[in-house]
């Protein structure tokens, strides 16, 4: 009888545990789907400052921007993406931050100073 109550209690609590899990897109999945589009924009879109400045092939640009993307999303302390992005607005917010980070680290100097100052305010 004791085990029956324990099993029933576990079965009763399991749906609560599952439904309490955060809804949204896990960070790793978001980064995996976001990176190709972000890299392509920086290296192919005529409106991209990096595309207009980069002196090399598209493949070289893709490689450089991919490195910057990884750096911005894993080791830049001012970029802190939550483990789960719970809304489209949150994905847009962090996508913008990653894009700004890429540009800031690509151009350096004042761009990087302004990016770091802006991130410290948020």
Q: Are 75 and 16 in contact (CB under 8 A)?
A: no
CA–CA gap between residue 68 and residue 98 (Å, rounded)? 9
From first to last of the 122 residues of the chain, give the pLDDT tens digit.
Answer: 333 333 333 333 333 333 345 689 999 999 999 999 999 999 999 999 999 999 999 999 999 999 999 999 999 998 999 999 999 999 999 999 999 999 999 999 999 999 999 998 86
CA–CA gap between residue 70 and residue 68 (Å, rounded)? 5
Going from N- to C-terminal start, the domains of the chain cover 24-121
pTM, entire model:
0.80
């Amino acid at each position: 009888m004791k085990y029956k109550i324990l099993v029933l209690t576990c079965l009763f609590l399991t749906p609560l545990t599952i439904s309490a899990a955060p809804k949204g897109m896990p960070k790793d999945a978001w980064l995996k789907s976001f990176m190709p589009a972000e890299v392509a924009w920086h290296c192919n879109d005529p409106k991209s400052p990096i595309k207009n400045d980069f002196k090399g092939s598209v493949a070289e640009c893709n490689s450089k921007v991919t490195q910057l993307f990884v750096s911005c999303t894993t080791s830049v302390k001012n970029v802190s993406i939550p483990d789960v992005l719970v809304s489209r607005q949150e994905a847009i917010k962090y996508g913008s931050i990653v894009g700004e980070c890429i540009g800031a680290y690509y151009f350096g100097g004042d761009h990087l100073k302004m990016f770091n100052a802006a991130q410290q305010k948020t």
